[in-house]
């Protein structure tokens, strides 16, 4: 990984994991589906206006728009919907981040079959070490009194599968289907527009779009839109152009320990020595996952 790619990866990790904190900050003011609907409606509007002013707003065709819309629904609506429902149920933000522990392994399992990029033996070792680091961190927290949260982990499982599918589909399009490629701006527009359409029915039926319009809500929503949905997602797709999907997926292992650190700063959540040890294992796993020569299927 070259220096520029490494800096992009660092920025992605920080911005991506700030989304858990921002979402928890906004949740008291709007339900999960309503929050996400306003977020992606605003994003689609901003992107549409920006593309129109720049003369880049165009219809790429039903199949291309549909492919990017599917990626958006998986990577935004399903992923974040499951995460926010878990947070609303009272699961701490750092523990909800456990969902990212499953995605790198799932990506490693399927990347060879879907993208034609088999995972190397060293990367399998790195992914496994990273998973152990995440598991160690979370298990100790559960033993410390959070065991009631286990029942809500079915939703994060769904989130992990959705993001894995979105990552692999995006990478496959980059490698094997040039006609489906779109510039970042148009791609994000179709992803956000599709997400807003999918989120509207549950926001209306389950939550009636109830929203507490406050300064805190607007501040949190602005961060989620600018830093996470535009910044972090844009960096993720840029990284997928530079490196293979398994290496990008390994960065998600930073989720639980980094989010726990951010939650400690933002909300005063307890930070334990086991979190630090888990982060050390995660760092080792990510380093191992970044290179290798012997390929395995």
Percentage of the chain exceeding pLDDT 90:
28
The count of structural domains within the chain is: 1
Evaluate whether 211 touches 29 at the Cβ level (below 8 Å). yes
In this predicted model, which residue has the larger pLDDT, 115 or 208?
208
The residue range of the domain holding 229 is: 3-289
**Residue 148: predicted pLDDT:** 52
Burial of 90: CB neighbours in 10 Å, binned 0-12, 13-18, 19+: exposed
pLDDT digits 0-9 by tens, 94-112 = 566 655 666 666 666 666 6
In a domain, 134, yes or no: yes
In a domain, 277, yes or no: yes
Is it the case that residue 146 has pLDDT exceeding 60? no
> What average pLDDT is seen over the chain?
80
**Residue 292: predicted pLDDT:** 47
**Residue 290: predicted pLDDT:** 64
pLDDT digits 0-9 by tens, 186-233 = 998 999 999 999 999 999 999 999 999 999 899 999 999 999 888 887
How far is it, in rounded angstroms, from Cα 277 to Cα 51? Answer: 45
How far is it, in rounded angstroms, from Cα 281 to Cα 11? Answer: 20
In a domain, 280, yes or no: yes
The 3-state secondary structure of the chain reads CCHHHHHHHHHHHHHHHHHHHHHHHHHHHECHHHHHHHHHHHHHHHHHHHHHHCCCCCCCCHHHHHHHHHHHHHHHHHHHHHHHHHHHCCCCHHHHCCHHHHHHHHHHHHHHHHHCCCCEHHHHHHHHHHHHHHHHHHHHHHHHHHHHHHHHCHHHHHHHHHHHHHHHHHHHHHHHCHHHCCCHHHHHHHHHHHHHHHHHHHHHHHHCCCECCCHHHHHHHHHHHHHHHHHHHHHHHHHHHHCCHHHHHHHHHHHHHHHHHHHHHHHCCCCCHHHHHHHHHHHHHHHHHCCCCCECC
Is it the case that residue 286 has pLDDT exceeding 80? no
Residue 19's pLDDT band (boundaries 50, 70, 90)?
Answer: confident
In a domain, 8, yes or no: yes
In a domain, 10, yes or no: yes
In a domain, 296, yes or no: no
Residues in CB range of 152: below 8 A, 6 or more apart: 85, 86, 89, 91
Percentage of the chain exceeding pLDDT 70:
79
In a domain, 83, yes or no: yes
How far is it, in rounded angstroms, from Cα 22 to Cα 228? Answer: 9
The pTM for the full model equals 0.74
In a domain, 297, yes or no: no
**Residue 199: predicted pLDDT:** 97
pLDDT digits 0-9 by tens, 156-165 = 778 888 988 8
**Residue 70: predicted pLDDT:** 95
How far is it, in rounded angstroms, from Cα 77 to Cα 44? Answer: 13
Residue 241's pLDDT band (boundaries 50, 70, 90)?
Answer: confident
How far is it, in rounded angstroms, from Cα 254 to Cα 275? Answer: 11
């Amino acid at each position: 990984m070259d220096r520029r790619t490494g800096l992009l990866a660092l920025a992605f990790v920080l911005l991506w994991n700030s989304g858990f904190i921002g979402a928890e900050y906004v949740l008291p003011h709007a339900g999960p589906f309503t929050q996400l609907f306003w977020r992606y409606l605003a994003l689609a509007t901003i992107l549409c206006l920006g593309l129109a002013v720049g003369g880049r707003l165009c219809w790429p065709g039903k199949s291309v728009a549909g492919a990017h819309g599917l990626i958006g629904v998986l990577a935004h609506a399903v992923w974040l919907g499951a995460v926010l429902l878990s947070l609303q149920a009272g699961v701490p933000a750092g523990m909800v981040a456990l969902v990212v522990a499953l995605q790198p392994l799932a990506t490693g399992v399927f990347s060879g079959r879907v993208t034609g990029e088999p995972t190397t033996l060293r990367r399998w070792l790195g992914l496994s070490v990273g998973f152990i680091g995440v598991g160690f961190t979370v298990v100790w927290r559960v033993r410390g009194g959070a065991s009631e949260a286990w029942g809500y982990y079915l939703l994060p499982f769904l989130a992990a599968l959705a993001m894995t599918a979105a990552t692999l589909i995006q990478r496959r399009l980059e490698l094997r289907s040039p006609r489906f490629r779109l510039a970042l701006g148009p791609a994000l527009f179709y992803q956000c527009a599709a997400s807003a359409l999918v989120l509207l029915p549950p926001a209306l039926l389950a939550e009636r779009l109830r929203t507490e319009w406050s300064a805190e809500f607007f501040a949190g929503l602005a961060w989620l839109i600018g830093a996470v949905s535009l910044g972090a997602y844009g960096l993720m797709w840029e990284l997928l152009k530079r490196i293979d999907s398994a290496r990008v997926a390994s960065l998600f292992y930073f989720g639980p320990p980094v989010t726990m650190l951010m939650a400690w700063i933002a909300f005063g959540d307890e930070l334990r020595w086991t979190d630090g040890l888990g982060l050390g294992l995660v760092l080792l796993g990510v380093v191992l996952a970044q290179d290798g020569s012997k390929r395995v299927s």
